[in-house]
Amino acid sequence: MIEFHPVTRHIGAEVTGVDLRRPPSDDEVAQIRRGLLDHLVLFFRDQEITDEQHLAFARRFGTLNEPPMKTSASAIHVLDQKDPKGEGGDSWHSDNTFMPVPPMGSLLRAVILPDVGGDTLWANMYLAYESLPRSIQRLCDELEAEHDLTMSVTKAIAKGHRLDLEEMRRAWPPVRHPVVRIHPETGRRALFVNRSSTTRLVGLDDRENEALLPLLQDVVRSPEFQVRLKWRVGTLAFWDNRPTQHYAVADYTQRRKMHRVTINAPAEIDDGVPKGPRQA
């Protein structure tokens, strides 16, 4: 029997009663999907699975989202690091919001871990929005923001990764998304700006952006909105990318290898953002 054990009051639950080595039934998929909507990020412990099983499990919840920076021959994005400081994961973010339709979720699995460190945190962006004064909420409800991959790719290049920024900008030009995203399945409002990709609030001048955008980006830092995971090899985390942000703690110097699969919402679910690029 599948059970969900909350880790904090507002976000995160450990899941028991699931063996990811075998395909889940339709009923199990429905239960896990409900648990994801309720808890925003789910932790599956002691799951010694292959890449193929990882991909098969992800496909039950959406279509595979091909990573913009390929690190393997498949849809698995390999994060293999010893010196992660400044590479981008150590900044609060949602995955790939520079895409016209950002991914619905991600499934991240620990393969090799350092002796100490390398935790990941997630934050509840419903609560981030709800914590704002009502006057700021009303303003944000009407705003759009520009999302651009330039900042994250520039960090990667500075760390020695061989990437062509101009080629990537041509493939993924800046786009606009609502500052407040309404979740298509829960109907709740979540703050949808982050420090990795959000460059400006559309329609505001430079001084207004300098005042408001950092305030919105930093709401995520409140500990009461967060959950922190201490990884073990064989742990898989599955999070809803729409109402969450996450942060990879860059406090290790030994090898940390993680495999991530990112997924789009199933065709029957309207993900709440336009289907074509809206140029910023």
Contact indicator for 64, 245 with CB cutoff of 8 Å: no
Range in 87-91, 170-174, 186-190 with the lowest mean pLDDT: 87-91
Give 76-87 pLDDT, tens digit per residue: 999 999 988 877
Give 67-113 pLDDT, tens digit per residue: 766 655 578 999 999 988 877 789 999 999 999 999 999 999 999 99
Give 13-70 pLDDT, tens digit per residue: 999 999 999 999 999 999 999 999 999 999 999 999 999 999 999 999 999 987 766 6
Any idea where the domains of the chain sit in the sequence?
3-264
Q: Which two tokens stand for residue 44?
A: 């599956």
Is residue 39 flagged as an active site residue?
no
SS3 for 180?
A: strand
Give 248-268 pLDDT, tens digit per residue: 999 999 999 999 999 999 876
Active-site residue (options: 77, 147, 200, 246): 246
Contact indicator for 264, 65 with CB cutoff of 8 Å: yes
Contact indicator for 11, 123 with CB cutoff of 8 Å: yes
Mean pLDDT of 125-154: 95
280: nearest Cα among 207, 197, 220 = 197
Active-site residue (options: 240, 256, 260, 271): 260
Active-site residue (options: 93, 109, 177, 189): 93
Is residue 93 flagged as an active site residue?
yes
Is residue 260 flagged as an active site residue?
yes
Q: Which CATH class is domain 3-264?
A: alpha beta
Is residue 10 flagged as an active site residue?
no
- Tell me the Ramachandran region of residue 85: left when phi exceeds 0, alpha when psi lies from -120 to 50, beta otherwise: beta
3-state helix, strand, coil in the chain (%, to 5): 25, 25, 50
